[in-house]
Copies of this chain bind each other. A is one copy, B any other.
């Protein structure tokens, strides 16, 4: 029986591991893919205090070394379900079963798809959700970035150093990203702005999607003032006859339009988006189950905040275990 199982090895999970080890809890961290989570596929991070600039993987290696240095057990496996049997939490994984007194869910969140024609079929063939992973394939080629938040703008800037030209498509007139990022992007010479536009289709190879091949272009629709609602129309409602459609020749399309949490496997209270609800103690609706970082309802999703969450959850788990006697 473990004192604590941490599900997910991003910055929050690794921090919880550091605190749990220091608190003397018998702990295992279970990660299904690779340590570091979304930040491990980020080019650069400049707002984790203490490191003015560092690569995502570089920072996560430091977190991992810190946690392993304290003796944290890390296992690669997938948790399929968590059931709370009062004082004991039972976890089913691909490899077997585990029992623990407490569980910290730090499974993060995954990129959202737009669900436009071509997107799914061409993923990995020109459609990407990770500039750091796939950017280098588009050296000296034209690419498109879809989105207006921090991630979209950050990744557009990153891609501008590799691609010959970056087209950025955003539904609104104003970017939601941090001002420092927007300023930087606007001063990037090889950036083309398509504001008030939405992506309608991704074209490939011989002009048809079913023919396979790789990305050759993207169809955008320009929204007019009356079209405010159009941004929410589904792909099925695309009006090809509209004069507001235009095709841009690009070989890569990078989509950064939000995230979905990975929380299906655990039955605790969540919001409509599937994000786990917690109080300031990171406690969920089930005693002994905590949620931290990107997978919970939180005002901000950053390494800094995941770290704070992880410290609190491990501390509260320790207090809870003592209360069990």
Contact = CB atoms under 8 A, between A and B. Distances in A.
Interface of A: 11, 14-15, 18-19, 21-24, 46-52, 59, 62-63, 65-67, 69, 178-181, 183, 280-281, 298-300, 302, 304-312, 315-316
Contact of A47 (B19, B47, B51, B62): B19
A182 to B, nearest CB: 8
B311 A305 contact: yes
A311 B47 contact: yes
Contacts of A46: 22
A63 B48 CA distance: 9
Determine how many copies of this chain the complex contains.
2
Contact of A298 (B22, B63, B280, B310): B280
Given A178-B24, A180-B24, A280-B298, A49 B307 contact: yes
A300 B304 contact: no
Nearest to A309: B308
Contacts of A302: 311
Given A22-B180, A299-B316, 10 more contacts: A14-B49, A15-B49, A18-B49, A50-B50, A50-B59, A52-B69, A281-B299, A299-B315, A307-B307, A307-B308
A310 B304 contact: yes
A23 B19 CA distance: 31
Given A49-B66, A66-B51, A308-B309, A24 B183 contact: yes
Contacts of A305: 308, 311-312
Contacts of A23: 178-180
A315 to B, nearest CB: 5
B299 A304 contact: no
